[in-house]
Amino acid sequence: MPLSKAKVVDEALRLLDTEGLDQLTMRKLSAALNVQGGALYRHFPNKEALLDAVADKIVEGISEPLPDVPWPEQIRILGSRLRAALLTHRDGARVVAGTFAPGANTVIGSDVSVQVLCRAGLPPAQAGWVTFALFYYVLGHAIEEEAQLRLPPDHDWRTRTDSLDVKVSPQYAAALDSLSTTNPAERFDYGLNVFIEGLLGLQTTQPPQGETAL
Amino acid sequence: MPLSKAKVVDEALRLLDTEGLDQLTMRKLSAALNVQGGALYRHFPNKEALLDAVADKIVEGISEPLPDVPWPEQIRILGSRLRAALLTHRDGARVVAGTFAPGANTVIGSDVSVQVLCRAGLPPAQAGWVTFALFYYVLGHAIEEEAQLRLPPDHDWRTRTDSLDVKVSPQYAAALDSLSTTNPAERFDYGLNVFIEGLLGLQTTQPPQGETAL
């Protein structure tokens, strides 16, 4: 049976989960698939193209249709789906952050977000900017979560600052401590909520102006 | 004169600006400084440690004291300072995104943000989470801006989706078009404003509860 593109991507995801992004090479992937290197390059001209395809497979879940609920809840669902998708695979957020050419799932998911925000009253351009902003937030949060997962269990966040010759405020120290004592999902939801509150705030503080309202 | 740590960082920044992150190697840096490789490693055990120091130098500007203005304006200033700092150097945002151990300027800047948000009424933990969220937004936006700067002048955003077998909505197409026709600073300010509106929204929708208000 000839080697399919989908099979290469699936095996790359499996290697990603077991070895991590820094160890994922075209050479190891060929060996795992038991093919010559050339067979991979017939599907992907280089590692970047392969990683673009892997990234788009990772975010597959964001392209699913949304339930018919108010738009703030739809945005919450989209953000949470993206976070869940990124955290399903080791280094998932780093892989997606490193891609430039968006794949089909990325485009469909972004398009869904833009349409939700347009229905909320944003002009298309601003709906796009907010979609990107949301994407940056989820990606940044997931990258930090991944990094935190790889810390030794006895890691103390204070050691991140103690080695520096900087005196931090009690508030900042408490903020760092909260990283060990709170659930990442709770922190994520809080930030997402600030975002949604902001969109609601723009809706109420600016008078409706037909197509360009919000 | 012995090679100082500061001189290594300055030369690394100069190399970054002329060659870009992917071409910045310890070997090229030694050659540019006209020293043996060992001289670098006396200051920095590895390239990661060097890049951490370079990243902290890039964000130097965020550690400056803030003017005495209302907190939403202070948050706006902090966000804009960070964006400006990241865009001052080629691949600046990518360098900062890739670091894990925060340096003195990063800690001071984050601490300033946490304190501003605590004065706005957030508990310290939440002030920290919002600071991180803001950081992810600015970083993600700056990485996209950098990527856009390197696109050929005749680049058409639609070609990013035309090669995919996906039919996009007119709204999404308009959102993509806006990337070529609008100022990145305008887009950045819009997203930052959504964020600040969200913080104001939390302030007004939740009754004050002393120390834990917002």
Q: What's the ipTM? A: 0.88
Contact at CB, A187 and B147, closer than 8 angstroms? no
- List Cα–Cα distances, B172 to A71, A156, B17, B92, in angstroms: 17, 44, 34, 29
Stretch(es) of chain A classified as CATH 1.10.10.60: 5-51
Interface test with A, best of B166, B192, B193, B205 (most A CBs within 10 A): B166
Is a pLDDT exceeding 70 seen at residue B167?
A: yes
A191 touches chain B (CB under 8 A): yes
* Residues ≥6 apart with Cβ < 8 Å to B8: B29, B33, B40, B43, B44, B50, B53
Task: Count CB neighbours of A4 within 10 A.
Answer: 10
Stretch(es) of chain B classified as CATH 1.10.10.60: 5-55
∠ CA A92-A93-A99, nearest 5°, is 95
pLDDT value for A150: 78
pLDDT value for A208: 44
Which of A102, A110, A140 lies nearest to residue B140, judging by beta carbons?
A: A140
- Domain A5-51 is in which class? mainly alpha
DSSP state of B34: T
Give this prediction's pTM. Answer: 0.90
| C-alpha–C-alpha distance, residues A143 and A138, integer Å | 9
Stretch(es) of chain B classified as CATH 1.10.357.10: 58-212
For tokens 């709906």, name the residue. A127
The mean pLDDT value for B51-76 works out to 95
Is the pLDDT higher at A166 or at A59?
A59
> Is residue B195 within 8 Å of residue A192, measured between CB atoms?
no
- Which residue does chain B place closest to A119, by CA atoms? B171
Name the CA radius of gyration of chain B, rounded.
21
Task: Write out pLDDT tens, residues A167-179.
Answer: 999 999 999 999 8
- Domain B5-55 is in which class? mainly alpha
pLDDT value for B43: 93
Instruction: List B residues 58-77 in contact with A (Cβ-Cβ < 8 A).
Output: none
CATH number of A58-212: 1.10.357.10
